[in-house]
Structures are given as C-alpha cells and as structure tokens.
Chains A and B, each alone.
Chain A
C-alpha cells in the first residue's frame, strides 16, 4: 500500500512525520518498507552551475563538472544555477501517462559519456506547472541539496510516499481511516478525524430497502442523482496517481478514493428505473455492476425497482461493504458512501441505508493474564489487558480471577490460540513497554568444538600474511572444477548454478578482480564449505584454502617460493588447530601442474593437497599462476587436538651447524628431512632452512641448506664430535646423489658464516 503522508495526515488531528508514522505503525506490525521522497525535498536533487556546451554535451558543476541532460524548452544561460536530479532521484510526473505511479526515476548512466543527472523543471520538483528549467539563487553552493537552497521553503506539494505492508489479518488497517485509528490508539495526543465532514442523517427510510444475507458483513447503500459527475479535484487526482490508483472515469476515481480512505469494498450499479428500490446483498442472483474495488465474491447484488417507470439520466446506486467488526469502527461503510457522494454530487447529501447481515460466529479464547505477563516479562493487570483488547474490535468478559474470555471476530484469522492472543497483546502494548532482561536460567559451561579449531587454523594462516576473503558458496555452472557438482535448480535465472566443489576458483576470481596490483603477488586464505557429491551425500565439508596468486611473468623461483610460503602457512594452521605433525608426500592430482603437487598427511590420513595451478584451470586468465593448498578440515581435525608438549632445552652446550648440500632435483626435500631425522643419535634437531637455485650450480641440482644441532645430555660436545655427527648424517644421503656443496670460486669461505655456532 502506497500512502502519501499528507493524505494520511488529513485523518489525524495533529500530523505525523515520516519517522513518527514509521514508529507508530511499525510497533503495530505494519512495516514501512520504503519511503520515496520525490521532488524538491529529495536529497538526490542538488544545485549545479551550468557550464558551456562542449561537443554537444552540457556540463554542470556539482561541484565537479558532470554531463547533464536538459529539459525541453528554454535553455538557461551558462553560469546560471540549476537543480540537477542525480540517479535514483524521484521526480513528479504530473499528468503524464506511462510513468511509475506518477513519479519519474532518474536512471543511472548506462554508458561512458551518458549524462549523470537531469536538470529539473518546477513541474518535476513539484513546484508548479512550468516545464522549463528552474533557476536557483546564484549564490547557492554547487552540490547542496535543492531543499536547502530554496529559501523560504516552498508551500507546495511536499509529499513523502510511504510503502506500507498491511498484513491480511489486519483488515481493519487497510485504509487511511484504519491506519489513523492504529496511530491514535498508540499516541494519545492524536485523534482520528474525517477531513471532509461527518455523514448526515440517513434520510427517507423507504427509498432503499436493503437486506444483507452475507454472514458477518455490513453494507451501506446510497442513491446518487445521475448525470455528469463532477471532475475530481487536481490534488486528489495527483494523489491517486501517487498511490497507483488513478483512473480517467470520475465514478471509478471517486469509488477508489473512498475505498482507499476507509478500507471498505465498494461497487456501483446504474439504476434505470425511478422511485424506491429493493436491494439484496448476498443473494444468488446478481445484476451487472459498475466499477468495483475488490467487491467480495460472496456478496452478489440484486436490485429490484418497485416502480417500473424509467428515469433519465440513470441514477447511481453506491454500495459499501465491510466485515461487521471492521465497519463498526466509526461507521466506515456509511462514511465511504458519503465520501463517494460528496465527490460525485457535492452539496446534495444522498438517501442512504445501512444493514448488518447475520452475525458471524466468533470463537473464544481463554487468557490467563498472570501467565501472559510472565511469558512476556511484563506485569499486566486484568483491567489493562481487557482495555487493550477491546480497543481494536475484540470483545472481552471476565472469567474468574486473572482470567479473561476473548471473543475473536472472524476476520482475525491470525488469532486462533492462546499464544496468538499473547502476541496480540504485545502488538497492542508495543515492545517499548517491555523491560529489557537477560535469560536467567543457569547454563552449562561452553564446550570445546571443532569450529574453534578451524578458526584457529584460519587465524594462523592470516598471521602468516594471508588475507582472509569470503567468497560465495553458489557459483555459476560454467566455472571450472565442475565434475560431479551439486547442481541447483535454475529458478528463473539464465545461468545454471552449482555449489562449489573447491574454494580455489573463488579465490582465483578474487585475485584476478583486484585492480591496481599489476605485477605483485597476492596471498589469500578462506575457510568455507564445499560439496563433493561423490562422497555419497550432499553433506558439505569445511575446507581451508591458502593461495598465493602470481601474476604474469613470475619465474620458477617465485613459484617455488610461493609453494614454500603456502606450505608453511598450512603447517602453521595445522599446528594451531592441534595437529602437530603434518607431513607431505608427492602426488599427482587433476588440474595441478604435473610434478608440483603434494598430498598433506595428518595422522596417516590424507588431509589435502598443495601444488601449482594455471589460472585457466581455475577459470581466470592463464597468465596467472596459483600456488594453492586445499585442506579438508574434517580429515585434518578428525582426531582430538594434541596439545604440544614443551621440551626443556639441552642443559649442556650444543653446536649448531648450517651445511650447504648439492641436491639432485629429483630428490624431494621430504626425503632429505626423513633421512636427517633418522640420523646419528647425537643429532638433536635437523631441518631445511633454505633452498636456492643458481646458474653456478651443476645442471639439474639445487642447493639446500640444512641446519644441524648436535648435543649431549651429559656434557658439552666438542667441535670434532659435532663435525663427525654431521658427516655421518650427510654420508647417509650420498647414495641419493647428495653431496656437500662448496662454491668453486670461493673455496676459502666456509659454508656460510653461521657455520659452527656454539650455543
């Protein structure tokens, strides 16, 4: 329902602002979903200084110069201050057909060079009929909203249009009269009023004999003189257009105005015979009726003239119907019929008749007031409860201490059970009346959980310098990695969609979409769910993906470094999640470049993969390369977290030595690390600290620096002992083709300057 605020305010003794209307109606359960502020009050209409025309385009300073569109008609001189409506602004379009509810919405520029704004006319701003551009005071600062530039504020139409959703069960709120009633119920300063006078006496009781069969309906009928109907006032026509209800036919227009104002059903019947008529509503035979506004299907209308002579011009029978409880709210049907008469034949109060149909059965609900109060956390007295409920058409009787029996009218389909009635009591008191409390029951202490470990893993990757991103789980079906994916129904969209099988395409898309990062790598991490249908069900699996995106032109060294960084982040993530040992073994995997992939192994089970992927494998331009790891968090966290035990450092002096090894490319680091771990007993710790490739190294080889720590529990080790232990460890690798590396030109310098540091 679209409600011009000024129209609603005519029904209140004191006008409400948008904010007050939103507040009072919102509390009552009617959401204002949007508010249009058209014309000069719109914040999207700003002052701009018109510049010279350049190449057929006119610019205006807003304050930066922007291309604008001019209205037809006289062109204001360059330098004059005009009103410019920016995209999204709503302008009045009085009298023009084909616009949305009487408003023009300024479109956003579709192409480069399109005007970004529209120079406004007084008509568009709601300031008068003129169709040429309006000129503002020259001292106005460009860019200020026009509303601030117009001094004094114009006294013309300044309507806010509320978009309101009235739930079907609140039928009594459907119409300005009902909305005003809800506002008045919640704000004692405001009263509901009729702006166009109260209906007078009904008149000659025999002119219309009205009988109503419809169960639970009240009907009011009136006979209006025939002939040319009055033209509707311009203001009312403009308002009807804003509500989307305008019509060229004056009778239809009047019927719609009355229905809109009073929330009743209306229909008209042309009477060709003169004299008194018998009208039956709810019978099974119907006459052809004129314009109707949602006339109920069960209320057929039958009209019989008691005298046969014809009348010219034909008279008009107007019928208004509403549920009896709704109509009882201030004689709505009578008021609606009176309104139609005042619009079509002003100054001639018509003869009217009002009749109630048979009463509809009401069902009853027993309310325990004390229980209601404790459920809401709001102490309530029985009197207060009864007062609230009777305010909006329910009837209430006492049934013992703290108990009320509430009779529910048929149209309140939302009130069936006791909880429904408790909800209605909250609706009537409003949440403002409720205190704010916190749940008071004792609760068990929080438990450890897998998601906390997942979060710890992600945080560890972030601490490694990887940026967390959040990408959609639903992706287009033409994205890569589409083998056996969970497909979604199209639901009207052109492209098919699937649930992702991997986080990597999303991460690749993020990398490729970044602007202004030419030539720099990008580190990203995400935790999220994927679905692997081959696992037999559609259960999602949480994954951790760590990616370094390398732009075009990154060499093999950069790729290797990238893999090392990604791997280090994954290992930290595993450690943070309580998985102290994560090993790797070489593996081949689809989409990964051959020879670059490894499998992560935790507690003997595969927990993910790492390797290099081409951008094309992930749906982005092939110039990108990705060092990527995917970790299955279910597999990684299958075992309970192991809290790492701290080991006391050796009490005795240890000797730490960095040794440069020349290693054939086909010998993986994992194998070297394994051999070192199995080395001599005196070797306490051993690890790879650096990998280096250089043209000076023999072909097919790389330099690997290992750090070896030699110690004894009982005494300081000597340099000779340390050297012997290192030699033993290295000799175990010779059968793999590994040997110590000394640069040919720099024989005199040692392996490096950390060699043989005594700790």
Chain B
C-alpha cells in the first residue's frame, strides 16, 4: 500500500485518466484517432501532467507511482494500435452502432433441476468413487434376516416393532438402514483381499415425522474390507468426507456408540448449523447433530455373510438429509421431502 495520501491521490488520478481515455477511444471514429493521441498521450495530456507530479512525491513512493503512469501510457498506446487496425478493417462508425443494453442479463433460472437429495447422493458417491469405492445397487425391500437378525438386532428390540419399521406381506421389510444392503452385497460376493463399495438410497421408518425423523430418508454407506483396514480408517473417511462436503468449518466429533452389528462402533456429530449450536428441534436442544455412524463389522455379521470373522471390514453410514440440513442451515429435514418448488428451484 502507498505510504502517503498524495501517492494514493496520484494513483487514483492515473486510473481515472486511463479510464476516460479508453472510453473516448472506443467512440472515436477512425479519422480522428490522431487527435485522440494528442489529447490523451501528448505533451498536454492528463497523463503527462501526472508524470511531472510524480517527481514531487516522497522519494520512497516515486518508483511505484512512476511505474503506474508508464504502464497506463503503454496500455493506451496498445489500445490505440488495436483500434487503428479495427477501423482499417471496416469497423462501423459509432453512428451505425446498434443501441442495446448489455447490462440487462435476464435472471431466469433454467426450467428443471435436480433434487437436493439426489444431488448430494451423487456428490457423496463421487467423493467415495475417487477413493476407489464402487457403487452397488441394492434393494429397498429386504427381509427380516438382513435387516435385523443377521445384524444381531435382538428380536425384542424396539426398532423392530411395526410401530418403527414397515413390514409387508411375505416377510418383507422395507430396509430401515443401508447396513441391510451392505450385508446383502457382502453375501453376494466372495471375500477378496480388498474390496470397497458404497450402497445408497431411500430407507424407511414408520415413525411420526418431525424435524429430525421422517418416513423416508436417504443414506449412503461406504464399506472397505481388507486385512490392513483399521478403525482409524473410519475416522479418516468420516473427517475427510465432512471436510469435503461441509467444508473446514465443521469439526466432526466421533463418539463411542454401540450398535449390534459393529464393534467398536461410533457416531459422528457435527455442530447443528441451523441453530448455531443453540439448540433447536433438529438437534433436540443438544446443539449437535449425528450425521454418520459406523464401525468395524462384528464377527457375527461377517459369519452371516460367509466372510472370515477376523477380516476387518469398516462401514460408515451417512444420513444425507441431515447433511443437507447442516449445509443449508435448514432446521427441519421435512423440507427435503415436501418437494416445494420454491425450495427446489434454488438448487439450480
């Protein structure tokens, strides 16, 4: 920054002389270009006057100000040369110009657009694809074995009651989490030395919808298997994902949490952005929101999948609506289910 106010005034004067000269050049017809040169680059021009003012400046600022004046003069000379070339090529005279207003750019978004949930699902899948995770299709209509029994959820666990889970005829269950699909994928493929995949999509719970829980929500679950997989990999995947999708401002907290299908298990919380961690219906006053959960798959689950029990398999499930709520600062995940075009249109 210039040291003295005189320097600042001088530099501003150089900029203003440059702008007005350039404006005049644009509207100057070919035959009058010599006159333009006299007025804006000649001995009586504003720039020439400024050049002499530079000598009066404090010694330490002279070089910078002198450079600015020289640069402006050089640029104007180049612009003049370009303009001469243009007029020689038959540039229309200023009088023939079309009258238009280039400042009016219509602010109409294109019709159509993606749903925020499907956008974030793709974004998350792309994040994991870059780490070598392959997307695997998996059904939403599951059976009790995959949804609960083989995952070690006891028969009397409250989440298994029809008041929490959707049951259909023929022992069908609508998956209440993507871990059911993880097990299904594991069962269909042989235990290799290393495998990485994601499953994703809608999950269903028969609860009373509120700001935090809804009938249909979306999860993406990333799974990495291999002899060198460690618990710390789950931490790395979780924190890396939060940094990539939510940005650096979110400090994910990993919390010990027990689930029957993992050991050890964890939950990942971030600060509840909609309320600024003050407490709201989404975080139920706690100021924190659980957005992921996972762990190393328990021996019983691997046995059920026909995999070696001691092979480490890391799983990390992400709640996409909650992620969106945090990203957009919306304190109610029902916004992502209502399909209100006034909201969806903003995602374009």
Residues of A within 8 A of B (CB): 18-19, 22-23, 26-29, 31-37, 43, 88, 163, 167, 374-378, 414, 417, 419-420, 422-423, 426-427, 430-432, 434-447, 449-452, 455, 458-459, 461-474, 486-493, 497, 499, 510, 513-514, 516-517, 522-523, 525, 527-529, 531, 538-540
Contacts and interface: CB of A to CB of B under 8 A. Distances in A.
Nearest to A169: B258
A128 B229 CA distance: 58
A473 B218 CA distance: 12
A619 to B, nearest CB: 15
B6 interface: no
B168 A470 contact: no
B50 interface: no
Given A22-B288, A473-B174, A27 B255 contact: yes
Interface stretch (B37-45, B90-98, B132-140, B150-158): B132-140
A439 B263 contact: no
A471 B253 contact: no
Nearest to B340: A514
Nearest to B236: A436
26 contacts: A22-B286, A33-B284, A43-B278, A426-B264, A431-B235, A434-B232, A434-B235, A436-B238, A438-B131, A441-B227, A441-B228, A443-B132, A444-B134, A449-B135, A451-B135, A452-B135, A462-B114, A465-B111, A466-B112, A468-B344, A470-B117, A474-B166, A489-B162, A490-B162, A491-B167, A513-B338
A467 B344 contact: yes
Q: Which 7 pairs of residues, A with B, have the shortest CB-CB distance? A: A377-B232, A491-B162, A377-B230, A431-B254, A34-B284, A441-B194, A465-B111
Contact of A426 (B113, B256, B338): B256
B293 to A, nearest CB: 11
A439 B224 contact: yes
Contacts of B73: none
A33 B265 contact: no
Nearest to B201: A529
Contact of B169 (A27, A438, A486, A527): A486
B161 interface: yes
Interface of B: 110-115, 117-118, 122, 129, 131-137, 139-141, 161-170, 172, 174, 193-196, 202, 204, 206, 215-216, 218, 224, 226-233, 235-240, 253-258, 263-267, 269, 275, 277-279, 281, 284-288, 296, 298-299, 312, 314, 336-342, 344-345
Contacts of B253: 23, 26
A491 B206 CA distance: 8
B58 to A, nearest CB: 49
Contacts of A463: 112
Contacts of A32: 286, 288
A423 B296 CA distance: 10
B134 A488 contact: no
Contact of B263 (A423, A438, A445, A473): A423
B194 A442 contact: yes
Given A538-B170, A540-B140, A474 B285 contact: no
Given A34-B286, A419-B263, A463-B112, A375 B215 contact: no
A5 to B, nearest CB: 12
Given A18-B286, A434-B235, A441-B229, 14 more contacts: A37-B279, A375-B296, A426-B256, A436-B232, A439-B314, A443-B195, A463-B112, A467-B112, A470-B117, A470-B202, A472-B216, A489-B167, A491-B165, A538-B172
Contacts of B337: 470, 472
Given A431-B255, A436-B232, A437-B232, A446 B134 contact: yes
Contact of B341 (A377, A455, A467, A490): A467
Contacts of A36: 285
B113 A376 contact: no
B344 A446 contact: no
Given A375-B231, A469-B344, A427 B264 contact: yes
B142 to A, nearest CB: 10
B255 A31 contact: yes
A727 B35 CA distance: 65
B231 A426 contact: yes
B215 A29 contact: no
Contacts of A459: 114
A445 B287 CA distance: 40
B341 A436 contact: no
Contact of B230 (A19, A420, A437, A467): A437
Contacts of A375: 230-231, 296, 312
B140 A29 contact: no
A465 B112 contact: yes
Contacts of B341: 467, 514, 517, 522
Contacts of A19: 277, 287
Contacts of A449: 134-137
Nearest to B214: A472
A419 B164 CA distance: 30
A468 B113 contact: yes
B218 to A, nearest CB: 8
Contacts of B194: 439, 441-443
Nearest to A18: B287
Contact of B111 (A376, A432, A467, A539): A467
Contacts of B195: 443
Contact of B256 (A18, A27, A438, A443): A27
A439 B226 contact: yes
A439 B265 CA distance: 17
A567 to B, nearest CB: 16
A35 B287 contact: yes
A591 B249 CA distance: 52
A571 to B, nearest CB: 16
A459 B119 CA distance: 11
Given A491-B163, A499-B141, A377 B285 contact: no
Contacts of B278: 43
B50 to A, nearest CB: 51
Contacts of A432: 254
A674 to B, nearest CB: 31
A422 B167 CA distance: 36
A451 B164 CA distance: 29
Contacts of B312: 375
B189 to A, nearest CB: 11
B228 to A, nearest CB: 5
B275 to A, nearest CB: 8
B73 to A, nearest CB: 50
B238 to A, nearest CB: 8
Contacts of B114: 459, 462, 468
Indicate the member of B193, B232, B257 with the most A CB atoms within 10 Å.
B232
B339 A439 contact: no
Contacts of B168: 486-489, 499, 538
A441 B287 contact: no
A645 to B, nearest CB: 28
Contacts of B299: 417, 419
B345 A538 contact: no
A467 B287 contact: no
Contact of A468 (B115, B129, B166, B238): B115
Contacts of A469: 115, 339, 344
A437 B266 contact: no
Contact of A474 (B174, B240, B257, B336): B174
Contacts of B269: 26
Contacts of B224: 439, 441
A34 B141 contact: no
Contact of B166 (A163, A445, A464, A497): A497
Contacts of B254: 431-432, 434
Contacts of B218: 470
A251 to B, nearest CB: 34
Nearest to A471: B339
Contact of A488 (B166, B267, B345): B166
Contacts of A471: 339
B339 A539 contact: no
Contacts of B287: 18-19, 22, 35
